[in-house]
Structures are given as C-alpha cells and as structure tokens.
Amino acid sequence: MSAPLLCEGRVVVVTGAGRGLGRAHALAYAAEGARVVVNDLGVGLDGAPGPGSPAGQVVDEIRSAGGDAVAHGGDVATTEGAGSLVRAALETYGRLDTLVNNAGFLRDRMLVNLDEDDWDAVMRVHLKGHFLPLKHAASYWRAEAKAGRPPVARVVNTSSGAGLLGSVGQGNYSAAKAGIVGLTLVAAAELGRYGVQVNAIAPAARTRMTEGAFASMMAAPEGGGGFDAMAPENVSPLVVWLGSAASAGVTGRVFEAEGGRITVMEGWRAGPGVDKGARWTAAEAGDAAVKLLAGAEVPGAVYGAG
C-alpha cells in the first residue's frame, strides 16, 4: 500500500506562487493531495507588471498531474487583494487550512543609495504582503473556532538569512525579513487559542530573486547529474510538513532550509548579564559591557561583509 498523502483534503493558499519557491511549494502541496490557490501578481523582480500569467501556468501544471488548483492574481499587499485571496479559497473549496506567505521582490542598494521609494516598496510587498493575508485568514479561523468548528490551521511565513543576520546591500530586504520573524512570533502567540500554528522558514535556493546576489553559490551540480543543492524544490518538503496536520505542536519557530539541510534557528535570548542594583555611570556601564561581551557568543557574520 502507498503511504497516505500528507495534505489530503486540505486547502492551501500560496502567495507568489508563479515561479521559484512559491511554484515549488504549490506543486509539492498538490502532490500531497492539497487543493491549492495559486497566487501571483505576475510582476518582474522590481515589482513592475510582467507579461503572461505565471499563476495560471502553475495551475495548468497541477491539473495536468491530476491535482486541483485555481489561480488568483490579486495584490496581497492590499486589503482588497488579500481579502479576495481568502475568499477565493472559501468560494472555490469551502474552506482554508493553510496559508503560505511567500510573495516578494528585491530592490537592492547600499544604504547611502537606497531611495525612500525602494524602502517602502520592499516593506510593502514583503511585510505588508505577509500581514494582510494573515489577518484575513486569521479572521476566518477565529470565526470558525468561535462557531464551534476549531480549525487545524497552519501558516508558513518566509523570512531569510538576511533577516536573521543582515545582508550588505539589502538593508530594506533584511529589515522586512526580520520584521516577518517578529510577526511570526506574535501571530503564533495570539492565534494558538484558535487552532492556528504559525512558523517561518529562512530558505536558500536558486530563484529569480537570488540568482544575482548568490551567483557563486548557484552553480549547477558537479558531475552533470548530482544533487542540485540550490533547487527551490529542496525547501518545499519542510514547508509542506509545516502546513500539514502532522506538524501538530510546532509553532512560533524559524527553520533554515537549504539543499538537504534543515536547521532550527535560535533567535535572540538572554546571554551574559549583570545587575548592579543601582544606576550605572557611563564609564561603569562601558566596563560592564566589555566584560559581558568577553563571555558572549560572537554573532554570525553579516552576508557580504568583509
């Protein structure tokens, strides 16, 4: 007998699912039995509209493989677009079980050259584009719980190593991705009572967004047929598990996924400390800080530094 499908009967929304990681996630969920709402605005790397309908193409792929999917082309960084995304799931399939927030793009600049518009655009798509779908999905799940139909709901947010460690030339992107971690922690704490688990991933893979920034890491596998460690499909199995009922009890966590490696990321927590019991002078505070730093772990290097 074949193993049961991990997401049989679940309805999954994936944003930014026309290409790259989002496409890989959508296909992987469908392969595990989920009905998928494939969202993609169909824009370029800079956020400008692009030709064709990548969401529709992914839906065709899913259907040709025997799966069930529907396309959504709304802008999830708007209240109307995010609301219509959740409605698309409810009106098409009658329910929503999993939300995968993945949409994003880059406008990289060094800080002294970073325009306000570039800052706002990246914050809007990454951070607001996570918040609004989460808000609308959570409103539905809360209503279900209050009506006596507690959901087994899952949210998978997409952060980045840039949000955990920083990345030179990506101040806007790093700040947005760090904000997504904070949003994940708050959502996990607030929504658990309604049957909602919220986690985040920090993926590393070859996509349109990363191929320029990490060109040296994105080479094809050696030998012409080995394991392609940078394929986006490597990240999707963890995302599918986190979005399934099988991940019961896992919430408020951040996972790094790259190639065949999965790592639980451990964020800010109290390290060495000292309490004088009274106000410090500036010189005393400095002396104390130097002593504490001598016993503290050295932070990871910022990507691109040095």
Position 40: which residue type?
D
Beta bridge partners of 154: 98, 197
Half-sphere exposure of 207 (CA within 13 A, CB side): 27
Which candidate in 29, 84, 140, 177 is catalytic? 177
Q: Which residues are CB-neighbours of 20 under 8 A, at least 6 positions away?
A: 205, 207, 208, 209, 232
Q: Where are the alpha helices (DSSP H) in 94-170?
A: 116-122, 129-146, 161-165
In single-letter form, the type of residue at position 46 comes to: D
Q: Identify the residue whose tokens are 């790592």.
A: 263
Q: By CB neighbour count within 10 A (0-12 exposed, 13-18 middle, 19+ buried), where does 165 fall?
A: middle
216 is a catalytic site residue: no
Active site residue 177: yes
128, 173, 174, 244: the active-site residue: 173
Determine the Cα angle at 116 with ends 200 and 187, to 5°. 25
Sign of the Cα torsion 105, 106, 111, 113 reads negative
3-class secondary structure per residue, 259-291:
CCEEEEECCCCCCCCCCCCCCCCHHHHHHHHHH
Instruction: Name the active-site residue from 93, 140, 159, 160.
Output: 160
Active site residues: 160, 173, 177
